[in-house]
Amino acid sequence: MARKALKLASWTSMALAASGFYLYSNKYLDPNDFGAVRVGRAVATTAVISYDYLTSLRSVPYGSEEYAQLRSEVHLRSARRLCELCCANRGTFIKVGQHLAALDYLLPQEYTSTLKVLHSQAPKSSMQEVSQVIREDLGKEVLVLAVKQLFPEFEFMWLVDEAKKNLPLELDFLNEGRNAEKVAQMLKHFDFLKVPQIYWELSTKRVLLMEFLDGGQVNDRDYMERNKIDVNEISRHLGKIYSEMIFVNGFVHCDPHPGNVLVRKGPDTGKVEIVLLDHGLYQVLTEEFRLDYCHLWQSLIWTDMEKVKKYCLRLGAGDFYPLLACMLTARSWNSVNRGISQAPITASENTEIRNNAATYLPQISQLLNRVPRQMLLIFKTNDLLRGIEATLGTRASASSFLNMSRCCVRALAMHNKKNTCSFFRRSQISFSETISLWQISLHELILRVKGLRLASWVLALLCWLLPAPY
């Protein structure tokens, strides 16, 4: 594989060299504007990474301490090369790099820690470039001075294909502003969610002026400790926001990497708040997909394996329905069968998931080609949220699954009531919804009581083993 990649890279380099002089001698052309340059750079980087893995680990016994040390070094070198590639090629490559950086639960630590720089320190446009766009779109030099005063510091193929398809929407700032206002209105009942206000009189397709809201990144545990922010509360809030988007409204913010999700204590209230940024990329779910997805998650949470199979098939998984269930939950098939809301995730299961991700790559690829296109951005969103939970250490909590279940119950009840004219039938649906929500609350209470009981037992045992000195 490495030899083929090297051969392809050499041919690409020869082709690029023919036009290199012209590109670099013309000050009005950026070589990165040409797809061939970016592709050639990507092929060359892939070849170098493949060759490094092939030669560095070939003569070392697998599983030995030396092998583990060498593999970590190769991981780190490869991650740095990948980061350099993303920064050089920019655009879609930055988006892919940001996604990979958030997969703490899946990828080696060397990759995620190296690529995290892309969340908050991705390549920036120069102030000259920003000024040029503002002058062209607004024609107001005074605004350039205002921006400078306000912000002195401003200076896998399916994922790539989807990002390329959505990039024009992400680069249309009027679209981003409309999305921001829509989600703010849609989730206004969450007083802990803050979305920047848009100043429309000073915004165009290429310039977006919005309210400045500060905070720490959602994966910055040091910031949370300094500001006495409870990571479990943040995890619960984030789960509520995204469950409401996906299951109830079908309008989903699809780029929740840590650079786009800030946390803070409200300056007026002192309460914990989540600031959601970058509203360029949203997925609008069809009603059919949203309802099937609701049914599937309900079945997964309550361990109804017949319905799990049924709704996986409806979503196009075919014979790969166990794989779809595992990918959605990031749990092993054994855990899915036992109940994802019952058994917390363990270190051994995390290791199993990491190992199987590489083993089942061909099947994963086939599955991604089968499922509806809407599912692809949902996978991306799930991955990013799961990466945040892994960083915060809240993946073992059952509260996120219970919040999802509540939203599923409400969404399905709303749909059923909307499609019946009978007052008696609507009353039945409302009663059933109330009972289901009550059952979820009771289940949550039982889990909390169990947790408190376990804590009291542990405390009593410690007191018995370590009696207080007199």
Q: Which positions are catalytic?
A: 255
User: Burial code of 309-318, b = ≥16 C-beta within 10 A, e = fewer?
Assistant: bbbbebbbbe
CB atoms within 10 A of CB 254: 20
Q: What CA–CA distance (Å, rounded) separates 200 from 287?
A: 31
Q: DSSP class of residue 197?
A: P
265 has which bridge partners?
272
Of 106, 449, 388, 410, the C-alpha closest to 236 is 388
CB atoms within 10 A of CB 102: 28
Could you tell me if 378 and 329 are in contact, meaning their C-beta atoms sit under 8 angstroms apart?
Answer: no
Q: What CA–CA distance (Å, rounded) separates 327 from 398?
A: 18
Where on the phi/psi map is residue 199: left (φ > 0), alpha (ψ -120 to 50), or beta? Answer: beta
Q: DSSP class of residue 260?
A: G
What single string gives the DSSP state of each residue in 66-101?
HHHHHHHHHHHHHHHHHHHHHHHH-THHHHHHHHHH
